[in-house]
Amino acid sequence: MDKIFTIAAREYKAAVRSKAFILTMLMMPIFSFGSILVQVVLEKVDVKEMKIAVVDRSEGGKLGEVLKQLVDENSEFKKQLTEATKKNPEIEKAAPQLKELVSMKMAIETIPPSKDDKESILQQRYELSQRVENGELDGFVEIGKEVYKPITKLAEEQPDDQIVKLRFKNAIEAAKFRFPAQFLLTEAVQVQRFNDKKLNAFEIKPLLAQVIVEPHSLVVKDKLTGELKEGKKGAQFVNLFLPAALIGLMFMVIMVGATPAMQGIVEEKSQRIAEVILGSVSPFQLMAGKLVGVIGVALTMASVYLLGGYFVAYRYGYADLLSPVLLFWFGFFLILALLIYGSLFIAVGAAAVDIKDTQSLMMPIMLIACIPLFALSKIISDPNGMIATVASFFPFGTPMIMVARQSVPPGVPLWQLLTSIVLVLMTTLLCVWAAGRIFRVGILMHGKGAKFGEMVKWIFRG
């Protein structure tokens, strides 16, 4: 046993002191938080002012002026809108487009409409399109002359005269402009429609305000105190994210922890280092030591990421979702998954002659490991459904799937949890035993890599 832990300590120190491990630990959070920071910074940096032309064919030509209020910092509309959203943040929840309205930086040029005949309209569209192509404009808007008429057909069947058309060279800029412009034009058109019917728009519009619908988690009872706890606002979105994050973390930790061990074995074989080591320890002790080292490296990595995740969750008030019970099950199933996949990776390393050999042998293992990722959408949408339940009893996917299901209230039924543990323990023992048989023969083999048929023979015949 001392020899196993000596080998494990050596493997652990070699791994955690390597530049690759340190970079992996640092780069993942840097990329994750860095991408968020870059997006926030870019949103606040004005790259350029969008130039948009508006051709208003509507009756009275007032809607073009309405769009101008989008970009005029001194317009009474924009001042009132900014003040209203500051005083009542719920306004933005009812109409998220308002945030875009307040922050837009654009210059709008009003273009007199051409004659109503088809050729004149097409010619004007072409001239404006050329200005867009030449970079004078970012795009142009064409408001149909019958836009005030109530819609009586599906959007696909609406006449051109009742549609507002956007023509932009850049699809992203078109999308950015479309929704806030649609919101504001809809408001203006609805007011005019009410006025046409001799109705007071300012009395009716408040009655048509959207109802605010917010997702909340279920009410639960504390198992220790029996106290009822109100569901948290927005927790359902976290419940969608958390299972995916736990599966992704476990998958990454397994791959990052076990792959270097496999590569190390191939290197030791090629340099005849393994033969020297086997003069002091048995093949099983060498394999067990490397396997324990893999577990140590993976647990270190998982602990760092979970600790960081806990602080983020605590910062936003969701720390209770990462409960000690969930963290225990994550650690427990992670160790079992590492024993399964770590032993398979080590067996592949022992059976291969060089890194190229490992690629073909690794393919089936990688496909099996990816099964929880393939079923992720069903696991998240229905954690206690038939697909998630059946997948939980597939031993090679059980660790990831069970942790994901445990993270979503009300959790996994006890009988399923116990059954899955028994299946995984049996699979773990089988994989470690089979890997030990392959390792014993393969570690001293040189010349050419083994095929699957040969590896099966080693398991049963030694």
Both 243 and 204 in one domain: the answer is no
Q: Is 23 domain-assigned? A: no
Q: What does the pLDDT read at residue 280?
A: 79
Both 82 and 137 in one domain: the answer is yes
**Is it the case that residue 208 has pLDDT exceeding 80?**
no
Both 55 and 99 in one domain: the answer is yes
**Using one digit for the tens of pLDDT, what is the confidence trace for 366-379?**
888 888 888 888 88
**Using one digit for the tens of pLDDT, what is the confidence trace for 22-75?**
777 777 667 656 655 666 566 555 556 778 888 988 887 777 776 676 566 555
Give the pLDDT mean for 162-181: 81
Q: What does the pLDDT read at residue 82?
A: 62
Both 265 and 166 in one domain: the answer is no
> Among 54-58, 152-156, 179-183, which range has the highest average pLDDT?
54-58
Q: Is 54 domain-assigned? A: yes
Q: What does the pLDDT read at residue 124?
A: 92
CB-side neighbour CA atoms (13 Å) of 134 = 7
Out of 50-59, 425-434, 452-461, pick the least confident: 452-461
Q: Is 262 domain-assigned? A: yes
Both 171 and 84 in one domain: the answer is yes
pTM over 0.85: no
Token digits of residue 232: 């948290």
Q: Is 28 domain-assigned? A: no
Confidence of residue 126 (pLDDT cuts 50, 70, 90): very high
Out of 24-33, 387-396, 444-453, pick the least confident: 24-33
Give the pLDDT mean for 145-165: 74
Both 353 and 277 in one domain: the answer is yes
Structural domain count of the chain: 2
Q: Is 42 domain-assigned? A: no
Q: Is 223 domain-assigned? A: no
Out of 79-93, 273-287, 440-454, pick the least confident: 79-93
Q: Which position has the higher pLDDT, 167 or 74?
A: 167
**Is it the case that residue 321 has pLDDT exceeding 60?**
yes
Q: What does the pLDDT read at residue 107?
A: 78
Both 251 and 156 in one domain: the answer is no
Q: Is 198 domain-assigned? A: yes
Both 115 and 243 in one domain: the answer is no
Both 411 and 324 in one domain: the answer is yes
* Residue that is last in its domain, among 192, 208, 224: 208
Cis peptide upstream of residue 410 (ω within 30 degrees of 0): yes
- Write down the mean pLDDT value for the chain: 79
* Residue that is last in its domain, among 170, 193, 208: 208
Both 77 and 189 in one domain: the answer is yes
* Residue that is last in its domain, among 191, 208, 225: 208
Q: Is 341 domain-assigned? A: yes
> Among 17-31, 122-136, 151-165, which range has the highest average pLDDT?
122-136
**Using one digit for the tens of pLDDT, what is the confidence trace for 130-140?**
999 998 888 89
Q: What does the pLDDT read at residue 412?
A: 82
Query: What are the φ and ψ backbone dihedral angles of 55, each rounded to 5 degrees?
Result: -110, 110
Query: What is the residue range of 126's domain?
Result: 47-208
Both 180 and 303 in one domain: the answer is no
Q: What does the pLDDT read at residue 3?
A: 79
**Is it the case that residue 19 has pLDDT exceeding 60?**
yes
Both 292 and 392 in one domain: the answer is yes
**Is it the case that residue 384 has pLDDT exceeding 70?**
yes
Helix/strand/coil (H/E/C) assignment for every residue in the chain: CHHHHHHHHHHHHHHHCCHHHHHHHHHHHHHHHHHHHHHHHHHHCCCCCEEEEEEECCHHHCHHHHHHHHHCCCCHHHHHHHHHHHHCCHHHHHCCHHHHHHHCCEEEEEECCCCCCHHHHHHHHHHHHHHHHCCCCCEEEEECCCCCCCCCCCHHHCCHHHCEEEEECCHHHHHHHHHHHHHHHHHHHHHHHHHHCCCCHHHHHHHHCCCCCCCECCCEECCCCCCEECCCECHHHHHHHHHHHHHHHHHHHHHHHHHHHHHHHHHHHHCCHHHHHCCCCCHHHHHHHHHHHHHHHHHHHHHHHHHHHHHHHHHCCCHHHCCHHHHHHHHHHHHHHHHHHHHHHHHHHHHCCCHHHHHHHHHHHHHHHCHHHHCHHHHHHCCCCHHHHHHHCCCCCHHHHHHHHHCCCCCCCHHHHHHHHHHHHHHHHHHHHHHHHHHHHHCCCCCCCCCHHHHHHHHHHC
**Using one digit for the tens of pLDDT, what is the confidence trace for 219-250?**
767 666 777 876 666 555 666 778 888 898 89
Q: Which position has the higher pLDDT, 2 or 328?
A: 328
